[in-house]
């Protein structure tokens, strides 16, 4: 069996995007479901990078495979950079949905002067079962708008406007989002390392 890379996420939106972004890796790419692993890793780190490492290491240890994790989030200047690393948990009520988190974010922004400058950030960590780590990072600038637009993507996409294009992230096709998103840029940064590792060559990172 050749080298494989396990996608260390249970988030369906992220899984879909990674599968498309890394489609050139073909059968080398596996989802947790395909290897019969289900893990909820506590994101106890203070930074995206730390949380990406926690997830990648946990999945690599559980599977014996190389594991690729992302930790990502939305930073809104008017909220001092919140929700940031807490983006997935940003809502007061337990069991909150993506829609609840968008509504809560807009509630927090009410009364603050627009434009609400913001950016998505993504850190990718790849962990090998032997303990090596590699990284990629990407950022995508935009602004939060008060009304949802578009059906694509996931998370905060319907309220994240890409000013130059005049559309929200959720109004892009999957292909368009995958050309410019924070996750796409982070994947481009780490792609050469993935290629080398899949060829069985050591990588300097």
Active-site residue list: 71
- The distance of closest approach from Cβ of residue 1 to ligand IMP in the complex, given in angstroms and rounded to an integer, is 29
The reply on whether position 59 binds ligand IMP by CB under 6 A is no
On whether the CB atoms of residues 146 and 106 are closer than 8 A, the answer is yes
| Identity of the residue, 43 or 50, whose beta carbon is nearer to ligand IMP in the bound complex | 43
- The distance of closest approach from Cβ of residue 131 to ligand IMP in the complex, given in angstroms and rounded to an integer, is 22
| Identity of the residue, 179 or 195, whose beta carbon is nearer to ligand IMP in the bound complex | 179
Nearest residue to ligand IMP on Cβ basis: 155
- The distance of closest approach from Cβ of residue 10 to ligand IMP in the complex, given in angstroms and rounded to an integer, is 9
List phi, psi (to 5°) of 203: -125, 140
Binding residues for ligand IMP, total number by CB under 6 A: 17
The secondary structure of the chain as a DSSP string is ----EEE----HHHHHHHHHHTGGGGGGEE-TTTTT---------SSHHHHHHHHHHHHHHHHSSEEEEEEEEEEEGGGTT-BGGGGGG-SSSTT--HHHHHHHHHHHHTTSPSPEEEEEEEEEEEE-TTS-EEEEEEEEEEEE-SS---SSSSTTGGGEEETTTTEEGGGS-HHHHHHHSHHHHHHHHHHHHHHHHHTT-----
What is the pattern of x (binds ligand IMP, CB under 6 A) and - over residues 134-173? -------------------xxxxx-----------x----
Task: Determine which residue in the list 143, 168, 178, 181 makes contact with ligand IMP, applying CB under 6 A.
Answer: 181
The reply on whether position 43 binds ligand IMP by CB under 6 A is yes
The reply on whether position 73 binds ligand IMP by CB under 6 A is yes
Cα 96 to Cα 101: distance, rounded to the nearest angstrom: 7
What is the pattern of x (binds ligand IMP, CB under 6 A) and - over residues 11-30? x-------------------
Which positions lie near ligand IMP, rule CB under 6 A? 11, 43, 71-74, 87-88, 120, 153-157, 169, 181, 183
């Amino acid at each position: 069996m050749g080298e494989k890379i396990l996608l260390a996420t249970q988030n369906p939106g992220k899984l879909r995007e990674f599968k498309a972004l890394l489609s050139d890796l073909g059968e080398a790419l596996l989802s947790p479901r395909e290897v019969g692993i289900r893990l909820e890793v506590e994101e106890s780190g203070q930074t995206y990078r730390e949380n990406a490492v926690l997830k990648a290491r946990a999945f690599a240890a559980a599977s014996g495979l190389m594991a690729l994790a992302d930790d990502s989030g939305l930073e809104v200047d008017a909220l001092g950079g919140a929700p940031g690393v807490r983006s997935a948990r940003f809502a007061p009520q337990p069991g909150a949905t993506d829609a609840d988190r968008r509504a809560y974010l807009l509630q927090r922004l009410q009364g603050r002067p627009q434009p609400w400058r913001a950016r998505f950030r993504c850190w990718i960590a790849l962990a090998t079962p032997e303990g090596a780590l590699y990284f990629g990072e990407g950022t995508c600038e935009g602004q939060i708008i008060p009304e949802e637009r578009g059906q694509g993507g996931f998370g905060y996409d319907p309220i994240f406007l890409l000013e130059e294009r005049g559309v929200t992230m959720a109004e892009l096709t999957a292909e368009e989002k995958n050309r410019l998103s924070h996750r796409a840029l982070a994947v481009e940064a780490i792609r050469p390392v993935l290629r080398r590792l899949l060829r069985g060559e050591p990588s300097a990172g």
